A and B are shown apart, each in its own frame.
Chain A
Amino acid sequence: MDRRKFLQNSLALGVSAAAVGVSGCRQQPLDLEPAAAFKPGEPMPWINWAANQSCTPEWRSAPASVDELMESLKTAKGCVRAVGAGHSFSPVVPTDDTLISMDLLSGLVRHDAEKQQATLLAGTRMHTMGPMLHSVGQALPNMPDMDYPSIGGAIANSVHATGTTFGSMSSYVTGLKLATLSGDLIECSADKNPDIFKAAQTSIGSLGIVSEVTLQNQAAFNLTEVSSAENLNDVLDNIEQRCNDHRHFEIFPIPYSDTCLTIATDIAKPGDQAVGEDDPQAVNTVRRVFDATSWIPVVGEGLYDKVLTTALAGESETVRTGPSYQVFPHVRVVRFREMEYTVPAEAGPACVREILKAIKDKHLPMCFPLEYRYVKGDDIWLSMFEGQAGCSISVHQFGDLDYKKVFAEIEPIFWKYGGRPHWGKIHTLDASKLAKLYPRHWQDFHEVRRELDPQGRLMNRHLKTIFGS
């Protein structure tokens, strides 16, 4: 019997009582209202992937060339925001005025075989970048575990993957072009306009619109990824060694369970073979088991852990192997909302343990696995990894459940450990608190921002909150 079938059969343990509707993940259901109203023939709303952000801008454009982008900026009215794939959970995109879509600014501009660098238009989606770079013998050294975002959006928010020797996507940018509201197209790199470069490597779209980026890649390579079920405490007790043993290593702790999933990824060896396959609906199965068991007084949560542990123990590992751009990303079809903070790397184990304890002690209705990753430090002014290696911990809630109350219970734990929030994910910090988390370059960044956008036209309501007016 495979794990999924075992888990599904285990639902019989409590399915009748779960129907009463008192179990954890079934609590506080939200009405499945559309994120924004739409009537054919009327202006179409923009809605993000998670369906928790929307807007109906008065003016929209979708430039197909850099010249058209410059023209769009020249004629833009009111508050101007750019959008890539719309994968951010935080309200970085919404504007009532001008929304510029980067969808059509996509493709490989040039590549340098000697330096292993490639220049891409900023709207290029990561799922097209892999084959694009492969065709010129290159590959990204690291990639997030999903490939839906655009490269421009990924850079704007310091999107990252996992690996103690790998920085965020922003850290692989060696140069970029920034189109500003004043009509300039500014080339910048470590040597050319270096201050603008350090600000633009992670700017949440507040300096202008990045039209193209040059990335430091490496020769194309193959990877093998091994997913296993393990005891969380054992893994955390030995986390430094586990990270050192692999090119990439991450953990998916499961609330109310001592079991976690680990994913170790290394350069593929000859003879590596795929075993099993991903199950994109796995989190829904976990949710059903949680709903069916956790309601039972006194023993419910222990029963849930027992069922999960039994289902996951003794099974073979899942192995995926192939070109890096096919192994890094996974399919994502279950809608959720996410909060992520990066704490100093050494604080990771204590922080995640405290979060899991809080979920259990407060009986928070959360069964969606957490995600626990390490990222190398960098010198990018507003990167979550500026000046220190980081441990990024993500908490999630299913898309049809209230996330605000449960995230509010957990967010202070991140603050206690000096966590910096992911710019593209949910958090409640404002400029006064964020400034303290970036003591070295907060003012430097805002000097560049005010110089490039003196009227603050790139600042929507959210950016005014996080950056101050």
Chain B
Amino acid sequence: MTCTFNRKPSSSASGTSLPKSSSRWVTLLGIASALAFPASLNAQPDARQMSLFVNNCLQCHTRPETGAPVIGVSEDWKAIASKGEEAILMNVVQGIKGMPPLGYCSACSEEDLRVMLRFIAGMPNKSGEK
């Protein structure tokens, strides 16, 4: 179920525009930003992992209204990245705040989740690597 109450718009909304309607652009910009990191430094999901990433992670991490940190918005990830990979991994597996356990991804292995969290948070390939 979803129960929502009226919240005054943060900016004027009209016509057929919905907060979600901008999600595609946020997605594109976010992925573009993430991929813009030099491949040697930033984790790069393979095709299978990218498919899992798109089907699971992006449903929230492209939508600011969910409260989730948004892909490509570096300031959203600073505090999270500072926790370190192991702590983030535990949060991903067990869920945190509005984030469901495993980030919805039942097909993801531990390695898949590590690659995805490094990718989305802009962290280096190996834990602790600068």
Contact = CB atoms under 8 A, between A and B. Distances in A.
Contacts of B59: 125, 127, 148
A185 B3 CA distance: 40
Q: State the majority secondary structure of interface residues on A.
A: loop
Q: State the majority secondary structure of interface residues on B.
A: loop
B52 A103 contact: yes
B94 to A, nearest CB: 4
B104 to A, nearest CB: 6
A330 B6 contact: no
B16 interface: yes
A40 B86 contact: yes
Given A283-B3, A315-B6, A317-B6, A35 B106 contact: no
Contacts of B98: 280, 333-335
Contacts of A48: 101
Contacts of A329: 2
Given A51-B95, A103-B56, A277-B10, A146 B2 contact: yes
B7 interface: yes
Nearest to B68: A333
Contacts of A102: 107
Given A35-B94, A331-B66, A62 B9 contact: no
B13 A275 contact: yes
Nearest to A327: B18
A388 to B, nearest CB: 22
Interface residues of B, number: 48
A402 B89 CA distance: 27
A332 B98 CA distance: 8
Contact of A333 (B17, B67, B106): B67
B69 to A, nearest CB: 13
A86 B104 contact: yes
Contacts of B67: 280-281, 333
Contacts of B101: 35, 47-49, 51, 54, 86
A371 B1 contact: yes
B130 interface: no
Interface residues of A, number: 77
Contacts of A36: 94
Contacts of B65: 277-278, 280, 331
A184 B48 CA distance: 26
A101 interface: yes
Nearest to B98: A333
A312 B3 CA distance: 14
Contact of A104 (B17, B19, B107): B107
Contact of B66 (A261, A333, A394): A333
Interface in B96-124: 97-98, 100-102, 104-110
Contact of B3 (A2, A45, A99, A252): A252
B2 A330 contact: yes
B36 interface: no
Interface string A251-288: 01000000001000000100011111111111101000
Contacts of A227: 4-6
Interface in A5-61: 34-36, 38, 40-41, 44-49, 51, 54
Interface in B47-97: 48, 51-52, 55-56, 59, 63, 65-67, 86, 89-90, 93-95, 97
A273 B18 CA distance: 10
B1 A396 contact: yes
A4 B104 CA distance: 30
A233 interface: no
Most chain B CB within a 10 A radius of its CB, from A41, A145, A317? A145
A322 interface: yes
A273 B15 CA distance: 5
* Shortest 5 CB-CB contacts between residues of A and residues of B: A333-B98, A62-B107, A47-B101, A330-B2, A103-B107
Interface of B: 1-10, 13-21, 24, 48, 51-52, 55-56, 59, 63, 65-67, 86, 89-90, 93-95, 97-98, 100-102, 104-110
Given A84-B106, A280-B65, A316-B6, 5 more contacts: A125-B59, A276-B13, A277-B7, A282-B7, A312-B5
20 contacts: A38-B93, A48-B101, A51-B101, A86-B104, A99-B106, A101-B106, A103-B56, A104-B48, A106-B51, A128-B55, A227-B5, A277-B65, A278-B19, A280-B4, A282-B4, A322-B18, A323-B16, A326-B18, A327-B18, A333-B98
